[in-house]
């Protein structure tokens, strides 16, 4: 996997320096990089001058050539989908393509796909849980699948990103919504943002 050298600026001491980053990451070829993403270390740098640690966000394609998923991390793009054209997507034929803007949603996608869960059904679960909540101005992220308990756990964050609570949904609800999710087809060869807004749009139009 090719690394790319870029010039970055330390936000603490303004020292300009070089760092290496991965524009394309194949988790099947290099499984150790998965931990780097999950811990955030792959998207952070330590200043060579003041030793301060800071996040280095950049566009990246994170794929898994064995599980056939590809996530496009596009930090500055807020649209619902992104069509990268035939040329660059030729090698990703048959892959599930997703679009994310933040490291947290990228981690969530990796956890979901590696747990064998369907992210469309998960977003429908979130929508269902959100409808039961008083405060709807929150973000929800999948946390873990407690297989023996038959439950899916979600973390709820306020708009400042502070963890508020953990909530759960039964596997039975997921299974029900999984069947529903299969009826919402996705456009092929397009990186699609599957989030709770996507789920809301599908339900509203169904
Ligand atoms: Zn510094």
| Residues paired with 169 in a beta bridge | 152
- Nearest partner of 126 among 104, 155, 160, judged by Cα: 155
Are 63 and 71 in contact by the 8 Å Cβ rule? The answer is yes
Distance 9 CA to ligand 1 centre (A): 8
Q: What digits encode the pLDDT tens for the residues 57-111?
A: 999 999 999 999 999 999 999 999 988 765 566 688 889 999 999 999 999 999 9
C-alpha distance from residue 27 to each of 39, 69, 114 (Å): 15, 10, 11
Distance 40 CA to ligand 1 centre (A): 19
Q: What is the pLDDT of residue 128?
A: 95
- Nearest partner of 153 among 55, 136, 163, judged by Cα: 163
Distance 59 CA to ligand 1 centre (A): 23
Q: What is the pLDDT of residue 135?
A: 85
Distance 54 CA to ligand 1 centre (A): 9
Distance 52 CA to ligand 1 centre (A): 5
CA distance 110 to 87: 25
Distance 30 CA to ligand 1 centre (A): 30
Distance 85 CA to ligand 1 centre (A): 39
Domains of the chain, residue spans? 59-205
CA distance 36 to 43: 8
Residue ranges of the chain with per-residue pLDDT less than 50 = none
Q: What is the pLDDT of residue 84?
A: 75
């Amino acid at each position: 996997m090719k690394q790319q050298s870029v010039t970055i600026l330390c936000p603490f001491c303004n020292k300009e320096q070089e760092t290496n980053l991965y524009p394309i990451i194949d988790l099947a070829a290099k499984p150790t990089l998965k931990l780097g993403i999950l811990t955030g270390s792959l998207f952070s740098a330590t200043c060579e001058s003041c030793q301060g640690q800071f996040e280095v966000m950049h566009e990246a394609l994170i794929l898994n050539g064995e599980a056939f998923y590809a996530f496009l991390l596009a930090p500055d793009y807020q649209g619902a989908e992104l069509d990268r054209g035939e040329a660059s997507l030729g090698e990703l034929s048959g892959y599930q393509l997703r679009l994310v803007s933040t490291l947290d949603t990228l981690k969530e996608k990796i956890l979901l796909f590696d747990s064998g869960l369907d992210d469309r059904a998960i977003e429908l679960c979130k929508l269902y849980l959100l409808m039961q909540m008083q405060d709807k101005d929150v973000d929800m992220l999948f946390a873990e699948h407690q297989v023996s308990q038959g439950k899916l756990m979600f973390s709820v964050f306020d708009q400042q990103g502070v963890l508020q609570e953990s909530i759960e949904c039964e596997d039975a609800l997921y299974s029900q919504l999984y069947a529903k999710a299969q009826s919402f087809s996705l456009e092929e060869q397009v990186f699609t943002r599957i989030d709770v807004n996507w789920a809301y749009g599908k339900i509203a139009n169904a």
